[in-house]
Amino acid sequence: MTVTVDPGRQHALHGLYTENHHWLVELLLRRLRHRGDAQDIASETFLQIVASPDDPRGIREPRAYLTCIAKRLAYRLYRRRDLERAYLDRIALMEPAYAPSPEQCALELETILRMDAKLYGLPPDVRAAFLYSVFDELSYDEIAVRLRISSRTVARHVKRALLHCVAAGS
């Protein structure tokens, strides 16, 4: 099988990278204060552009475009780290005899991260109602008290989150 590459697209990608990569790394370094994270996010930013079916020749404001993608990736990085930290803090509080094995921790953390990705984009109350219901096994009445909403609204929120997860794929 032969793959044809549009030379104009390839040239535009090369130009976008050479003209902006160093600038983007420095911008991210100022914000993140960690060179490795800045380099990783800059690389992932350009990988997303390469993988996109959109033509890079159509990008009118390349630095604004790159910044937008990079900010989203930085947010995801810190969100992932916050979830990992919260999970590991919870594990640290467990009695060693009841703590999961490192392999089980890795599986559980991966499940939590996948679930978080599926719930991304839902309003905070909808996410909270779903998480209280599934992970904390609270009743709708208990969730309603915590969120200061009606039990009926909790039921609608949980249903919405479930439908959102199904739509996001399994």
* Alpha helices by DSSP H, the chain: 7-32, 35-51, 62-92, 102-119, 124-134, 140-147, 151-168
Confirm whether 154 is domain-assigned. Answer: yes
Half-sphere exposure of 44 (CA within 13 A, CB side): 16
What tens digit of pLDDT does each residue of 21-65 get?
999 999 999 999 999 999 999 999 999 999 998 899 999 999 999
* Confidence (pTM): 0.74
Confirm whether 127 is domain-assigned. Answer: yes
Half-sphere exposure of 57 (CA within 13 A, CB side): 7
What tens digit of pLDDT does each residue of 80-100 get?
999 999 999 989 999 999 999
Confirm whether 89 is domain-assigned. Answer: no
Confirm whether 67 is domain-assigned. Answer: no
- When divided into structural domains, the chain yields a total of 1
Confirm whether 156 is domain-assigned. Answer: yes
- Alpha carbon distance 69, 46 (integer Å): 9
Confirm whether 132 is domain-assigned. Answer: yes
DSSP for residue 4: P
User: Quick count: other Cβ atoms within 10 Å of Cβ 57?
Assistant: 13
Boundaries of domain holding 136:
121-169
